[in-house]
A and B are shown apart, each in its own frame.
Chain A
Amino acid sequence: MTLPDSARVEPEQAVPTTVDELAPLYRQMLAIRRMEEAAAKAYSQGKIGGFLHLIIGQEAVCVGSIAALKPDDYVVATYREHGHAYAKGIAARPIMAELYGKKTGLVKGLGGSMHLFDKPTNFLGGHGIVGGHVPLAAGAAFASKYRNDGRVTVCYFGDGAATIGGFAEGLSLSALWKLPIVLICENNQYSMGTPLYRSLAVEDVSLRALAHGMARDRFDGDDVIRVKRRIAEAVDRARVTGEPTLVEIVTYRFRGHSMSDPGLYRTKEEVEEWRRRDPLNRARLRLLEVGMAEAAIEALEADVKAEIEDSVKFAEDSAPADAYTPYVMKGAQ
């Protein structure tokens, strides 16, 4: 099986790291995967409704990039954002309870899977209209520039957003106004069921930066440390010079677009090929290489299992969403 041209950006090369650096990132990735698996199970049992978009296979992107941020930096994400929310510091319990539509959910059962928000960690959503959130992220970065608060905004979007106006306008304004933002295209090869070659004339999304005189980067997303290092360069650029970067990270979702998608537009061989590059397996092997004992890894994994099981129990045991209180029209008067 030959991977598409865009699949392997650079030769495989281990990025230097340590157990202290990698272990917490592996833990986060694993927690996200277990959380997504638990959500998929609950969905198939009818306990979670609506749309459910899983990030399984792409975990290194959100975990590695958010690891390059300071706690008060802003993150703006799409509707495939459970992992980003967790990586930003939101606990599994309120995330899971939100998917269940419970009172204890992160946004009280008012948002659901696609609309996670958290003010304390500066997690600015959770947006369901493809590309529409790119200008919002530029707005958060605009506010940082306006106030000179030193914060950086990171905005995630898929390759599917590269074709819509919101992305084009957000990119152009970020460049024009030199906003402290890192725009991360999580290129998972498919906008829903449409492969790149059927949606983009030029499959390298990062090239769009050139038209705006903007810095760009493009690399594989299967090594969480590489993601962290490369995004750190872009974050540093934003924080020090106030200039934006467009970064494309090539990745793959192992599951369908959402729970209702069996992924019939891809071959089994293609999915298997990508599974061989699973960022979690890779990080686990690397942990052993850099000196973490198998027993210690297993202890970490047991801890993650308990954490996610606890979050499911918490969600199941929580009360339904409160009687409806409209969060609209609370004006100044």
Chain B
Amino acid sequence: MAVISYREALNQAMREEMERDANVFVMGEEVGHYNGAYKVTQGLLQRFSERRVVDTPIAEMGFAGVGVGAAMVGLRPIIEFMTWNFSLVAIDQIVNSAAKMFQMSGGQFNIPIVFRGPSGPAVQVGSQHSQALESWYAHVPGLSVVLPSTAYDAKGLLKTAIRDDNPVVFMEGETLYGMTGEVPEAEYLIPFGVGDIKRPGKDVTLVAWSRMVHVCLEAARELAKQGIDAEIVDPRTLRPLDTAIICDSVKKTGRCVIVEVGWPQAGFGAEIAYQVQRQCLDALDAPVERVCSDDVPMPYAKNLEDEVQPQVKDVIAAVRRALYLD
């Protein structure tokens, strides 16, 4: 298998789907001539021309809406947000237009659109460019919400997203683009609503997605040295959510720690905690733990930024609490 970057995996997914279906096009700021602010669309303009790789002015609400309108009449847009932070000026189009159109029209107008771009805090880019908005979008019926943590998942899930007949919120890890991983040369798709065990274990279930999977993997290596065998469950899509894979793991381990980079109040981890207690209360040997960012806007200084976000030590501490070790 080839080893490629998460960025390259996304690029391949778009390239392959654009080759496959002439209705697929990419639109966003700097996606064409600049080759993408994060180079995810590198080379697509050269291959597919300005007709299908469309640079936009800075007008997220406008071009997100153009995407939805084009999707209403049968095109399959991939709308790139330079970062998901900027989606907040387009959220009306995502929530009120894209997510609702299929039902609002009595099932006449489905919206086959992918909104994609980097999400989650990067490094020292300040409050307005550092946030995890998946809990916002995961709240909305009519959307799928996808957060791949590896190059393999990124490619397989993006191809599925582009072929999906309904709107998909596809949130890439801003700090994962350079991460490499094995990706098969043969075509594959990863269905939505199917989680993945990123590390098998028997003592505690860690639930995490996007970059937090990697924080959990590092924590699990440390925990192993302490004799604690952590299982890491990556739901990959928050909507639809594979509660079965989470609950099956918890039934095995009896303990559950949910790790997310978002804020704690009304964060997605709270939904998972609800599902776990509802579906496998008898299996729990300890209260469900959550590890989140602090309940504050992101500070700039590196030491403060680290302090605010979930770190390996925070995951270890939560696991030890769940095991009544501390």
Question: A residues near B, CB below 8 A?
Answer: 74, 76, 105-108, 110-111, 115, 117-119, 122, 124-129, 132-144, 146-147, 165-166, 169-170, 172-173, 176, 326-333
Contact = CB atoms under 8 A, between A and B. Distances in A.
B43 interface: no
Given A136-B66, A139-B68, 7 more contacts: A74-B73, A107-B106, A136-B65, A139-B67, A142-B75, A326-B103, A332-B163
B175 interface: no
A111 B71 CA distance: 19
A327 B59 contact: no
A136 B25 contact: no
A139 B105 contact: no
B104 A165 contact: no
B5 interface: no
Interface in B52-93: 56-57, 59, 61-75, 89, 92-93
B142 A329 contact: yes
**Main SS class of interface, A:** mixed
Given A110-B103, A110-B104, A170-B62, A143 B74 contact: yes
A104 to B, nearest CB: 11
Given A108-B106, A329-B166, A136 B69 contact: yes
Nearest to B194: A333
Contacts of A166: 61-62, 65, 92
Closest 7 CB pairs of A and B: A139-B69, A135-B65, A169-B62, A107-B106, A117-B105, A136-B69, A327-B103
A176 B57 contact: yes
Contacts of A110: 103-107
20 contacts: A76-B69, A106-B106, A107-B108, A110-B103, A125-B101, A135-B69, A136-B69, A136-B97, A137-B69, A138-B62, A139-B67, A141-B69, A143-B74, A166-B65, A169-B63, A172-B57, A328-B103, A329-B142, A329-B166, A333-B160
**Size band of the B side of the interface?**
35 or more
Interface of B: 25, 51, 56-57, 59, 61-75, 89, 92-93, 96-97, 99, 101-110, 141-142, 144, 160, 163-166, 189, 191-192, 240
B65 A132 contact: yes
B203 to A, nearest CB: 34
Nearest to A117: B105
A122 B108 CA distance: 11
Given A107-B104, A326-B141, A138 B69 contact: yes
A170 B97 CA distance: 14
Contacts of A128: 96
B66 A142 contact: yes
Contacts of A173: 56-57, 59, 62-63, 66
Contacts of A119: 105, 108-109
Max count, chain B CB within 10 A of own CB: residue among A133, A176, A327, A332: A327
Contact of B102 (A126, A135, A328): A328
B106 A117 contact: yes
B108 A117 contact: yes
Contacts of A129: 92, 96-97
Contacts of B51: 146
B310 to A, nearest CB: 30
Max count, chain A CB within 10 A of own CB: residue among B25, B96, B103: B103
A330 B165 contact: yes
Contacts of B105: 107, 110-111, 115, 117, 119, 125-126
Contact of A146 (B62, B75, B144, B166): B75
Contact of B71 (A135, A139, A327): A139
Given A331-B144, A333-B191, A124 B72 contact: yes
Given A110-B103, A146-B75, A140 B141 contact: no
Max count, chain A CB within 10 A of own CB: residue among B63, B105, B108, B110: B105
Nearest to A179: B66
